[in-house]
Amino acid sequence: MEFVVAKDYADMSRQAADLIAACIKENPNCKLGLATGSTPEGLYDELVVDFETGELDFSGVTSFNLDEYRGLDHDHEQSYHYFMRKHLFDAVNIDPANTHVPDGSNPDAATACRAYEEAIRAAGGIDIQLLGIGHNGHIGFNEPAADFPKYTNCVDLTESTINANSRLFDSVEEVPLQAYTMGIGTIMKARKILVVANGSGKAAIVRDAFFGPVTPFVPASILQFHPDVTVIVDEQAAALS
Ligand code: GLP
């Protein structure tokens, strides 16, 4: 594991964008695993700048997002479909047909999750998977639990995640109670993993996930066993590590 302490959010975002940009330059047909949340917004802005300045070409890139709320349609402003269009897809030349986000609008969870896992497999797997981290150590929407989910699955969101994410909804009652997410096994199969975290609110979980024991009660801790992980955090998020 490479643990990089960036000066601040802007520096974290630029360094993370550089890693993703390097993958695209090395393989213009690469498969990107993407994440939502506030943390990666800055790095998406950087990738858009790289596209606008002619540094990056997304025309051959395929993407798979980690997760999506169950029950939100693709145009819902809090859906991850919407987030990705707003922060990246509509601003670069990626072919929309090559972008994938779990289909939260499909009420048939088993079918939606199986189809997603199969689509990743059929594409040949993910070259670089971007991850944020939840305050409870979740990655994607894999919440602390007694074991590590292997495949894309439907999860019940914990109260702490619902409360944390309610800041983006009009009220906590509007936050969906479930989500479809790549499993921990799906994530661990990515050839390279990039984790970003910033702010003092993430300092304790960064310490626990990357320097504590590996346990499904801190889902991100499993990343310590991945052979190619880069964690980029700002100084505040690194403060307890
Ligand atoms: C959500 C997403 C995660 C994300 C986490 C942290 O729950 N499902 O993928 O990492 O929030 O979000 P933020 O970056 O806003 O702290």
Give the mean pLDDT per block of 10 residues along the chain (241 residues): 98 98 98 98 98 98 98 96 98 98 98 98 98 96 96 95 93 96 98 98 98 98 98 98 96
For residues 183, 186, 191, 196, the Cα torsion angle rounded to the nearest 10 degrees is -20
Predicted local confidence at residue 102, as pLDDT? 98
**What is the atom index within ligand 1 of the atom nearest the CA of 67?**
8
**What's the 164 CA to ligand 1 centre distance in angstroms?**
9
The tens digit of pLDDT for each residue in 10-36 reads 999 999 999 999 999 999 999 999 999
* Entry pTM: 0.97
State whether the beta carbon of 129 lies less than 6 angstroms from ligand 1. Answer: no
Question: Ligand 1: which of 39, 70, 72, 167 to mutate, judged by most atoms within 8 Å of the beta carbon?
Answer: 39
State whether the beta carbon of 133 lies less than 6 angstroms from ligand 1. Answer: yes
Instruction: State yes or no: is 67 an active-site residue.
Output: yes
**What's the 133 CA to ligand 1 centre distance in angstroms?**
6
Q: Which CATH number fits domain 2-126+135-191: 3.40.50.300, 2.40.33.10, 3.20.20.20, 3.40.50.1360?
A: 3.40.50.1360
Question: Ligand 1: which of 131, 138, 177, 180 to mutate, judged by most atoms within 8 Å of the beta carbon?
Answer: 138
Shortest-distance Cα residue to atom 12 of ligand 1: 37
Q: Which amino acid is at 209?
A: A
3-state secondary structure the chain: CEEEEECCHHHHHHHHHHHHHHHHHHCCCCEEEECCCCCCHHHHHHHHHHHHCCCCCCCCCEEEECEEECCCCCCCCCCHHHHHHHHCHHHCCCCHHHEECCCCCCCCHHHHHHHHHHHHHHCCCCCEEEECCCCCCCECCECCCCCCCCCCEEEECCHHHHHHHHHHCCCHHHCCCEEEECCHHHHHCCCEEEEEECCHHHHHHHHHHHHCCCECCEHHHHHHHCCCEEEEEECCCCCCC
Predicted local confidence at residue 155, as pLDDT? 96
State whether the beta carbon of 33 lies less than 6 angstroms from ligand 1. Answer: no
Within 13 Å, how many C-alpha atoms sit on residue 58's CB side? 25
Question: Exactly one of 50, 103, 127, 143 is catalytic; which is it?
Answer: 143
Average pLDDT over the chain reads 97
Question: Exactly one of 46, 100, 138, 142 is catalytic; which is it?
Answer: 138
Is the distance from CB of 193 to CB of 129 less than 8 angstroms? yes
Show me where the domains of the chain are located: 2-126+135-191
Instruction: State yes or no: is 234 an active-site residue.
Output: no
State whether the beta carbon of 37 lies less than 6 angstroms from ligand 1. Answer: yes
Is the distance from CB of 68 to CB of 103 less than 8 angstroms? yes
**Alpha-carbon distance 73 to 40, whole Å?**
22
